[in-house]
Amino acid sequence: MLNRFTRAIAAYARKNEFIRDKLKTMVQPHVTAMMNTSIPEITPVNVRHSDADATRINILVPSINQAHVFGGISTALSFFEQLAGQARVQKRIITTDTMPEPDAEKRFPGYAIVSASTDTSHANQIVGFGDRAEKTIPVRKND
């Protein structure tokens, strides 16, 4: 009974512009505020403009920590390195779920672990962006 009633109300609301507008202005902000965006897998990646001009290839992977790099992540990183090497461009590895372990620079020679909060000039970067709620990452026009 309730399900049928809910569908009837929803159908009426879809047809009524006034109700649609009220739902958008009154309900949507509350729904957005209640959403938990501290879950890395569903937290949006928000960007900001970078003035740097160099061309850079980016890869987003859940993690580069040794315990997680096998199969798909390993293959993706290998392809990324080959592609960037042939293109002769700067590289950035962005981890979306975890922060890189301190030994990441040893396992990825030529890379520097950098913070998303600064727009650094390192040619090859590792950016831990798992804790990205309310944060941004710099993006160049040639990224």
Instruction: Give me the DSSP letters along 30-54.
Output: HHHHHS---SGGGS--EEEE----S
User: In the predicted model, what is the mean pLDDT of residues 123-130?
Assistant: 95
Q: How many domains does the structure of the chain reveal? A: 2
The overall average pLDDT reported for the chain is 86
Percent of the chain with pLDDT over 90: 55
Q: Which residues contact 134 (CB under 8 A, 6 or more apart)?
A: none
The enclosing H or E element of 137 equals strand 136-139
Query: Residue 127: which H helix or E strand, with range?
Result: strand 124-128
- Separation of alpha carbons 103 and 33, rounded Å: 37
pLDDT at 128 over 70: yes
**What's the pTM value of the predicted model, to 2 decimals?**
0.72
Domain that holds residue 31: 2-35
CATH value at residue 48 = 3.40.50.11090
Based on the domain organization, do 89 and 19 belong to the same domain? no
Same domain, 47 and 93: yes
| Distance in angstroms (rounded) separating the CA atoms of residues 43 and 133 | 7
